[in-house]
């Protein structure tokens, strides 16, 4: 099984309880249709899913771990961004 | 033979599903990739689930107190009524996929029609099985296309599987006296009437798979009358060993 014939895919499942698709894991498949079917067989065996996305792993651009400080450190001192200073009305529902 | 036609008919449906389910289960832990290992095991479990429903109903029709387990584990080869196609050894991946495609392309429309049977039990079992066979058909057809239009090796293996399997496809469409009366009564499905649709499905997928459909020649037959190949005996030895060696054991 070569990477050329069986590239890696990332699988996202929208569960019965969840609102958005969440990363479930990855798998090998020859193309998008087979990746969807494999995702169904590998990641929705216990009735977890309502919807599946598959994305070629090569299409993902990831942040560099060594950029961690530059990317994330500046937010640490901005506690006013946390929504803890006001009450969310019940009617708003999920935010 | 004192079996009623409805018993024999239900048993045939059950035996097809059990034997094919067992063949698929033989891939568990041996498939070419993890993804397909799970896919084949999923399909095996679908088939075995269908078999359980049909066996339970067959036992009730017979009225001698036999359970699904008695029918699955305590009959010998000549008691089985499955078609020969499903008892062929699992072969390589191309063989397993092509067999599943031939079977699902037949059983999907078959169960669709059986879900409108005048027999409510058969209809309800079939209604559940339709969705399962739709996935078997989709999955196996996509693989047939990718193997046929894949690498030199995958195409050669698929072509070889086709030569081996084609003579076993004719038995799916046979109608005998047992079934004729049930078909006329609206209980059973007429398999012969499904052949044009089946050929259409095969031709459509083969066109994408760059495969040529063989000319119809002599077709194998006998399984539905209890005349089996030697392969079924080996399969049953595996399947029935525990109940034969330790009668009544449970876990």
pLDDT tens digit sequence for B183-216: 999 999 999 999 999 999 999 999 999 999 999 8
Q: What's chain A's average pLDDT?
A: 88
Q: Among A91-95, B19-23, B241-245, which is the least confidently predicted range?
A: A91-95
Token readout for B182 is 């049930």
B231 in Cβ contact with B99 (< 8 Å): no
Q: What domains are there in chain B, each with its CATH number?
A: 5-213+223-245 (1.20.1260.10)
pLDDT for residue A37 is more than 90: yes
pLDDT category at B2 given cuts 50, 70, 90 is: low
DSSP string across B37-56: HHHHHHHHHHHHHHHHHHHH
| Contacts of B163 by beta carbon, 8 Å cutoff, 6+ apart | B214
Q: Comparing A41-55, A73-87, B182-196, which segment has the lowest mean pLDDT?
A: A73-87
Cα-to-chain-centroid distance, residue B139 = 16
Q: To probe the interface with A, which of B27, B32, B33, B35 has the most A CB atoms within 10 Å?
A: B35
For chain A, what are the domain ranges? Answer: 8-89
- Tens of pLDDT, residues B55-74: 999 999 999 999 999 999 99
Contact indicator for B35, A9 with CB cutoff of 8 Å: no
Which residues in chain A touch residue B142, judged by CB atoms under 8 angstroms apart?
33-34, 37
pLDDT of residue A3: 59
Inter-chain Cβ pairs, chain A and chain B, closer than 8 A: 36
User: Among all residues of chain B, which has the CA nearest to that of A30?
Assistant: B146
* CA proximity to B99, closest of B166, B4, B52: B166
The answer to whether the Cβ–Cβ distance between A34 and B38 falls below 8 Å is: no
Determine the Cα–Cα distance for residues B112 and B110; give it in Å rounded to an integer.
Answer: 5
pLDDT of residue B29: 96
Question: Which of A14-18, B111-115, B123-127, B197-201 shows the lowest per-residue confidence on average (mean pLDDT)?
Answer: A14-18
The reply to whether residue B151 touches residue A28, judged by beta carbons under 8 angstroms, is no
Are B221 and B170 within 8 A, CB to CB? yes
Which CATH superfamily is A8-89 part of? Phenylacetic acid degradation B (3.10.20.520)
What is the distance in angstroms between the Cα of A29 and the nearest Cα belonging to chain B?
8
Cα B88 to Cα B168: distance, rounded to the nearest angstrom: 9
Is the per-residue pLDDT at A1 higher than 70?
A: no
- Give the mean model confidence (pLDDT) for residues B124-134: 97
Whether the per-residue pLDDT at B108 is higher than 80: the answer is: yes
Q: How high is the pLDDT of residue B1?
A: 46
């Amino acid at each position: 099984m070569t990477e050329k014939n069986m590239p890696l895919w990332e699988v996202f499942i929208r569960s019965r309880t969840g609102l958005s698709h969440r990363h479930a894991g990855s798998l090998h498949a020859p193309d998008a249709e087979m990746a969807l079917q494999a995702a169904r067989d590998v990641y929705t065996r216990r009735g977890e899913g309502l919807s599946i996305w598959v994305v070629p792993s090569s299409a993902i651009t990831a942040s560099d771990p060594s950029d961690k400080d530059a990317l994330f450190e500046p937010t640490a001192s901005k506690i006013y961004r946390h929504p803890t200073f006001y009450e969310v009305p019940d009617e708003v529902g999920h935010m | 033979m004192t079996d009623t036609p409805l018993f024999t008919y239900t048993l045939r449906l059950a035996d097809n599903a059990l034997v094919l389910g067992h063949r698929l289960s033989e891939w568990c832990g041996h498939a070419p990739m993890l993804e397909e290992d799970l896919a084949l095991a999923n399909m095996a479990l679908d088939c075995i689930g269908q078999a359980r429903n049909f066996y339970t109903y067959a036992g009730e029709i017979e009225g001698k107190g036999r359970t699904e387990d008695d029918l699955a584990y305590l009959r010998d080869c000549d008691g089985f009524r499955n078609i020969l196609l499903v008892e062929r050894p699992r072969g390589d991946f191309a063989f397993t996929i092509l067999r599943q495609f031939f079977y699902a392309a037949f059983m999907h429309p078959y169960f669709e029609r059986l879900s409108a049977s005048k027999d409510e039990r058969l209809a309800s079992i079939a209604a559940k099985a339709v969705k399962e066979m739709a996935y078997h058909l989709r999955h196996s057809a996509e693989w047939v296309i990718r193997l046929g239009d894949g690498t030199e090796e995958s195409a050669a293996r698929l072509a070889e599987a086709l030569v081996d399997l084609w003579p076993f496809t004719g038995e799916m469409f046979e109608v005998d006296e047992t079934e004729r009366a049930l078909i006329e009564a609206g209980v059973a499905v007429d398999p012969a009437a499904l052949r044009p649709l089946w050929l259409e499905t095969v031709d459509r997928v083969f066109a994408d798979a760059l495969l040529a459909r063989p000319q119809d020649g002599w077709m194998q037959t006998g399984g539905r009358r209890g005349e089996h190949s030697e392969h079924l005996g080996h399969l049953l030895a595996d399947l029935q060993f525990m109940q034969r060696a330790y009668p009544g054991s449970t876990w």
